[in-house]
Amino acid sequence: MKRLLVSAAVLSLILTACGGGGGEPGGAKTPTGPVNITFWHSETASAKDNLVKLVDRLNASQNEVKVEAIFQGNDQDLALKLIASLRGSDVPTVSYMSKPYTQSS
């Protein structure tokens, strides 16, 4: 249940980050289509099922942001893929890992 709440919070942050007003200062252009977000995760079992349902509900509820949740294996696999992606151009918009991989002791 805790991971589901964290996943919902991450999706909320994604929407908040992609929000914005009309014209942007400095001549920045407003996107003409939906903003695509790749969301790498390591959720499994019912947590993965619930995450996919949340993403599907989000995508169905509006047309400004489209989130693609992509399972990347366990936390260690995800961490390695994320580090490897930094060398190339296939970096996810958002990545979610458990606490041991995001905080030092």
Q: For 5-54, how does the pLDDT look when each residue is reduced to its tens digit (9 = 90+)?
A: 555 555 565 655 555 555 555 666 777 899 999 999 999 999 999 999 99
pTM (2 decimals)? 0.69
Task: Tell me whether residue 19 is in a domain.
Answer: no
Task: Tell me whether residue 10 is in a domain.
Answer: no
How far apart (Å, rounded) are the C-alpha atoms in residues 105 and 51? 28
Task: Tell me whether residue 66 is in a domain.
Answer: yes
CB 92, CB 39: distance < 8 Å: yes
Task: Tell me whether residue 7 is in a domain.
Answer: no
Task: Tell me whether residue 23 is in a domain.
Answer: no
Name the domain count of the chain: 1
Task: Tell me whether residue 26 is in a domain.
Answer: no
Q: At what angle do helices 45-61 and 2-18 cross, to 10 degrees?
A: 30
Structural domain for 46, as ranges:
33-105
Position 99 scores a pLDDT of: 72
Q: How many CB atoms sit inside 10 A of residue 75's CB? A: 17
Task: Tell me whether residue 8 is in a domain.
Answer: no
